[in-house]
């Protein structure tokens, strides 16, 4: 027997606020970016010229742009992977703590309140090759730390600054997820003689998979879109173009360089790329998730 609701209009009325918000804050700006991508105009918008696909042609004829796609992939997957791994490890540890649990958990959540650009500046200070304590400590151990010249080190630095902030967020979700794992299952396994390691990988980790999948999507989106502040405050995309991610280029070309056409074209490419990635995630990875 199916339940029947007599109201035809009410459901639409109820979702209306959500639709309006999506329309105004998501679809409309996206449409604007899409339109802008086919124009070239001066900074003040005094003259506007329809250029067809010129902005895209220019983009894909630029070897630097392909580099930035590669940089983005390396950066985003490093951020998502290390963010998830460290947060999971911390959550498992925090879940086992009995005394001072609340203090410990609260402290771990704190970094989330720090603004991305500020986080960038903090790490920039810690790793400054001449004055930063971490850099001096690394040099003491024979690591020649100079992210102003070494592209891999610069990448490491931006990955650390971008990840650090996200760990708190991931931690919260993992902790909640862990607390939802039935105790009885774990107890049964330990009675059967499974080691803590084995218990984690065969019981806890698979049961956490919905949380992990959700966080993977969120973290990748964060790394793709939300990290230009960190990069601007630490490396400005350098040395060379070794930390110039796609979203940093969108920000830099659009807001600093005032080249709206190219910036818009780049955001369209970025939107497309993230769209494809999300589809892949939901089609292939989500199948492995056990709800």
Partner 1 sequence: MYKLKLASAVIGLSIASSGFAATDIEWWHAMGGANGEKVNEIAKAFNDSQDAYTVKPVYKGNYTETMTSAIAAFRAKKQPHIVQVFEVGTASMMSAKGAIYPVYELMRESGQSFDQSGFLSAVTGYYSDQEGNMLSMPFNSSTPVLYYNKDLFAKAGIQNPPTTWEEMESVSQKLLDNGVKCGFTTAWQSWVQLENFSARHNVPFASEANGFGGLDTKLTFNGPSQVAHIEKMSEWQQNGIFSYGGRRSDSAPKFYSEECAMFMNSSAGYAGIKKNAKFDFGVSQLPYQGSAISEPKNTIIGGASLWVLQGHKKEEYKGVASFLSFLSRAEVQADWHQFSGYLPITRAAYDLTKGQGFYAQNVGTETGVLQMTSGTPTPNSKGLRLGNFVQIRDIINEELEGVWAGQKSAQAALDEAVKRGNVLLRKFERANK
189 or 233: CB nearest partner 1: 233
Angle between helices 63-96 and 205-225 (to 10 degrees): 140
Using CB under 8 A as the binding rule, whether residue 111 contacts partner 1 is answered as no
CB 110 to partner 1: min, Å: 27
Stretch that binds partner 1, among 5-13, 102-110, 202-210, 259-267 (CB under 8 A): 259-267
Q: What is the 3 state secondary structure string of the chain?
A: CCCCCCCCCHHHHHHHHHHHHHHHHHHHHHHHHHHHCCEEECCCCCCEEECCCHHHHHHHCCHHHHHHHHHHHHHHHHHHHHHHHHHHHHHHHHHHCCCCHHHHHHHHHHHHHCCHHHHHHHHHHHCCCCCCHHHHHHHHCCCCCCCCCCHHHHHHHHHHHHHHHHHHHHHHHHHHHHHCCCHHHHHHHHHCCCCHHHHHHHHHHHHHHHHHHHHHHHHHHHHHHCCHHHHHHHCCCCCCCCCCCHHHHHHHHHHHCCCHHHHHHHHHHHHHHHHHHHHHHHHHHHHHCCC
Which one of 13, 46, 98, 191 is in contact with partner 1 (CB under 8 A)? 46
Identified binder of partner 1 from the candidate list 237, 246, 250, 270, rule CB under 8 A = 237
Phi, psi (degrees; rounded to nearest 5) at 61: -95, 0
Residue 149 structure tokens: 């010249």
Q: Which stretch binds partner 1 (CB under 8 A): 27-35, 41-49, 182-190, 196-204?
A: 41-49
Can you tell me which of 81, 129, 134, 286 binds partner 1, judged by CB under 8 A? 129
47 touches partner 1 by CB under 8 A: yes
At closest approach, how far in Å is the CB of 244 from partner 1? 8
As measured in angstroms, the least distance from the Cβ of 141 to partner 1 is: 18
Nearer to partner 1, 169 or 228 (CB): 228
**CB 253, min distance to partner 1, A:** 7
272 binds partner 1 (CB under 8 A): no
Q: Which residue, 42 or 187, is less far from partner 1 as judged by CB?
A: 42
Interface with partner 1, residue 107, by CB under 8 A: no
38, 169, 259, 266: residue in contact with partner 1 (rule CB under 8 A): 259
Binding to partner 1 (CB under 8 A): which residues in 56-85?
Answer: 58, 64
Q: Are 175 and 91 in contact (CB under 8 A)?
A: yes
Letters for 161-180 (x = contact with partner 1 by CB under 8 A, - = none) are --------------------
The footprint of partner 1 (CB under 8 A) covers 40-47, 49, 58, 64, 128-131, 148-151, 236-241, 252-253, 255-259, 261-262
């Amino acid at each position: 027997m199916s339940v029947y609701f007599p109201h035809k209009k009410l459901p639409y009325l109820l979702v209306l606020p959500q639709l309006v918000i999506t329309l105004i804050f998501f679809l409309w700006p996206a449409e604007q970016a899409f339109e802008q991508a086919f124009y070239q105009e001066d900074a003040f918008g005094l003259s506007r010229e329809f250029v067809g696909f010129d902005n895209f042609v220019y983009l894909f004829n630029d070897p630097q742009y392909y580099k930035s796609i590669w940089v983005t992939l390396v950066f985003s997957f490093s951020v998502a992977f290390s963010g998830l791994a460290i947060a999971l490890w911390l959550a498992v540890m925090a879940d086992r703590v009995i005394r001072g649990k609340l203090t410990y958990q609260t402290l771990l959540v704190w970094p989330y309140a720090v603004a991305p650009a500020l986080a960038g500046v903090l790490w920039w200070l810690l790793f400054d090759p001449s004055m930063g304590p971490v850099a001096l400590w690394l040099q003491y151990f024979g690591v020649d730390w100079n992210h102003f010249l070494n592209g891999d080190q610069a990448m490491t630095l931006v990955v650390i600054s971008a990840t650090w902030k996200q760990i708190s967020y991931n931690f919260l979700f993992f902790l909640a997820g862990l607390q939802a794992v039935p105790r009885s299952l774990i107890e049964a396994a330990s009675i059967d003689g499974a080691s803590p390691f084995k218990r984690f990988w065969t019981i806890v980790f698979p049961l956490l998979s919905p949380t992990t999948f959700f966080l993977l999507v969120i973290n990748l989106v964060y790394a793709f879109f939300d990290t230009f502040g960190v990069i601007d405050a630490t490396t400005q995309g350098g040395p060379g173009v070794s930390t110039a991610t796609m979203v940093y280029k969108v920000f830099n070309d659009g807001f600093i360089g005032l080249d709206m056409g190219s910036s818009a074209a780049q955001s369209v490419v970025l939107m497309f790329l993230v769209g494809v990635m999300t589809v892949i995630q939901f089609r292939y990875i989500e199948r492995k998730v056990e709800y």
